[in-house]
Structure 1
């Protein structure tokens, strides 16, 4: 009996602890709700202040224009009134003088008429008459359409609902990706990371027609820089193994397999039928590739042979696919430069969802990468942001992982530890970021 009571008391104690924790969690939720309400009111107040400032600026502009018109019109009218008054005075004087000359003519004989007409002209100064001034004209062209268009495009502020457990990011390291012998500024299209303790950050430099490698060990990089020159610019990258990557070369319609560790070299090349740009390795040993030139997403085997068109039944879903990645659930994330979002499709080509949501639409979507935790990272090089969203269809929450760390991001990749590698097209750096 005693043992039974002890067991019962033990279970009761466990339940009591669970109930207490639940109560504390509920109280914390209530506190968060109160804080949420305060934040909402604060945001509303700040928005009202912002628009009030805009209204004040518009009012000042209105008064300034009206005052300008009044001052300019007053100046023009004063000059015109002065001319009219002077002309009226001169006309009265001429009339009086003309009458005196007519009286003189009547007192003299007709033989002096010709002489008197010349006298009239000279006395009345008819040859010195000034031209009448032109009336001022005010251009009253309306700019309503321009103003409406301006207000429509005006980004006064943006509002996002962000979960309070969104991870914060931290800049770990940055390295210059411009090599000493690069003939022109870099244009990094894709980036991936291979290796274990000795790892290599691989990038495709489209402008310099090179595949570049930054080799590091532990937490530091680079300890060594390597490059592989190509005839045309490489674009997409995907990891094949810890020692090998595959890169697309759109202009040559081919995929090259590159050995990375020790000595960079092309191990083999396969031809394709399209100018593929983005590429992603699949678990079954095939590739998912996308083509911007003729918008499509295809499945190829390791020999570059076409196997399946994922956009055949959903061709309207793509306009300019440029980058792609495999999600944690095995679906495909495709960045579309025209729709400015990432489209999540399954292996049958069915469109599951778009990221970010329509309400959070980006200014651009030039690159995408996915981690093992269900996060999708989208590069917006116009807004200088790297937006992290959840692959989950029901989630619309997003946050900026770059958070002002990168100026013009162009490509993004992840290593096995979940670290982000983001290239900056303006300062020509690759940033290593934790989140």
Structure 2
């Protein structure tokens, strides 16, 4: 565009300078050529600063260490009369602000909590029905299931919450997790299944797996995506944890008996190392499984401070967040010995 403007500017100036008589003899300008001075351009680009790239390295959760309570987040906000019932939780880093987002079933709302200008602040987004599960779509967007309304709500986190859009679905979906590149895996009670949806709510595929001749899904209320793209399902109807491929193949099914048996599995997540954390609401435990679904230990118990745990997540700094349904707060634990650091600051 600059060269185009220059052409017309040169032509107008030339006509004015030489006059119509000279123009007839010498002719109009046929072209204007721009010759790039590469040395000047390179020097200018070397000195040009468009911004900074900040790389945040995730701190690995040390699952061999003993968890230590770091914080308790009270999710009650003004003018709420119903008891608190946090179901699911996740953490986002938005504009360098660590933001905890939780679904509150009894108060039919999604809430965010964060610290800004050294003050603890919150945002509340009311729903037209109780929200259950949530999943990250991007660094600042979430998808939330509202089963009673047959909808999935897309929420933007700024870190205050903004309703962006609503996906109307043909069924009531409870658990939800995002799959790359742009699909959702959702759980349903009737008929029990995990469906793969596009972002308009169309069912791309329905998964109702059998394991040893038995159906292994009944109440798939919590889902999570592993680092390898598989789907973890926590099912409190069949009291098992299932790992599925997006195509519907069973990678493993964890349903032990005896001391390690599950009684009411709820929230589930996987770490950057592939380890799996699942809560048991009835046994008051957070359980550590290997990537292949083998029991390691009860990483948190009632004696360690958890009662009726539901949703669970791990943030980029290696902190573990657990929803406590009967007590109402979110408890934050750490069991990592490494320091969080930010490096690779670069200029563009």
Between the aligned partners of 2:210 and 2:295, the Cα distance in structure 1 is: 26
Does residue 243 (structure 1) correspond to residue 140 (structure 2)? The answer is yes
Does residue 171 (structure 1) correspond to residue 72 (structure 2)? The answer is no
| Alignment match of 2:90 (pick from 192, 198, 209) | 192
| Alignment match of 1:354 (pick from 253, 256, 266) | 253
Q: 2:300 touches 2:306 (CA, 8 Å); kept in 1?
A: no
Following superposition, the deviation at residue 182 of structure 1 comes to 1.4
SS of the aligned residue for 2:295 comes to: coil
Q: Which residue of 1 aligns with 2:208?
A: 311
Between the aligned partners of 1:434 and 1:413, the Cα distance in structure 2 is: 12
| Alignment match of 1:203 (pick from 102, 106, 111) | 102
Does residue 230 (structure 1) correspond to residue 127 (structure 2)? The answer is yes
Q: Which residue of 2 aligns with 1:376?
A: 276
Q: Whose radius of gyration is greater, 1 or 2?
A: 1
Deviations along 1:396-427, one digit per CA (max 9) or x if unpaired, are: 32222355221221221221223211111222
Instruction: For 1:33-432, list aligned pairs within 5 A.
Output: 166-195=64-93, 197-216=96-115, 223-311=120-208, 316-355=215-254, 357-359=256-258, 360-393=260-293, 395-402=294-301, 404-432=304-332
Following superposition, the deviation at residue 263 of structure 1 comes to 4.0
Between the aligned partners of 1:223 and 1:409, the Cα distance in structure 2 is: 24
Q: Against the structure 1 CA distance between its residues 312 and 355, is the aligned structure 2 distance closer, same or farther, given a 3 Å change threshold? A: closer
SS of the aligned residue for 2:265 comes to: coil
Between the aligned partners of 1:417 and 1:356, the Cα distance in structure 2 is: 31
Which one has the bigger helix percentage? 1
Query: Structure 1: any 5+ residue segments left out of the alignment?
Result: 1-164
Q: Against the structure 1 CA distance between its residues 223 and 279, is the aligned structure 2 distance closer, same or farther, given a 3 Å change threshold? A: same
Query: Structure 2: any 5+ residue segments left out of the alignment?
Result: 1-62, 336-348
Following superposition, the deviation at residue 260 of structure 1 comes to 1.3
Following superposition, the deviation at residue 312 of structure 1 comes to 5.8
Between the aligned partners of 2:254 and 2:80, the Cα distance in structure 1 is: 36
Between the aligned partners of 2:234 and 2:143, the Cα distance in structure 1 is: 19
Count of matched residue pairs: 269
Between the aligned partners of 2:116 and 2:245, the Cα distance in structure 1 is: 36
Deviations along 1:194-231, one digit per CA (max 9) or x if unpaired, are: 1153121111111111001111369x9x7211100111
Root-mean-square deviation (CA, aligned residues, Å) is: 2.3
Between the aligned partners of 1:357 and 1:397, the Cα distance in structure 2 is: 13
Q: Against the structure 1 CA distance between its residues 306 and 312, is the aligned structure 2 distance closer, same or farther, given a 3 Å change threshold? A: farther
Q: 2:85 touches 2:326 (CA, 8 Å); kept in 1?
A: no
Higher RCO (CA < 8 A, seq sep 6+): 2
Q: 1:313 touches 1:349 (CA, 8 Å); kept in 2?
A: no
State TM-score, norm by structure 2: 0.72
Q: 1:249 touches 1:256 (CA, 8 Å); kept in 2?
A: yes
Q: 1:389 touches 1:399 (CA, 8 Å); kept in 2?
A: no
Following superposition, the deviation at residue 309 of structure 1 comes to 0.9
Between the aligned partners of 2:248 and 2:115, the Cα distance in structure 1 is: 38
Following superposition, the deviation at residue 183 of structure 1 comes to 2.1
Provide runs of 4+ in structure 1 moved above 3 Å: 312-315, 355-359
Q: Against the structure 1 CA distance between its residues 327 and 414, is the aligned structure 2 distance closer, same or farther, given a 3 Å change threshold? A: same
Following superposition, the deviation at residue 348 of structure 1 comes to 1.8
Following superposition, the deviation at residue 262 of structure 1 comes to 4.6
| Alignment match of 1:433 (pick from 308, 327, 333) | 333
Between the aligned partners of 2:105 and 2:209, the Cα distance in structure 1 is: 29
State TM-score, norm by structure 1: 0.58
Which one has the bigger strand percentage? 2
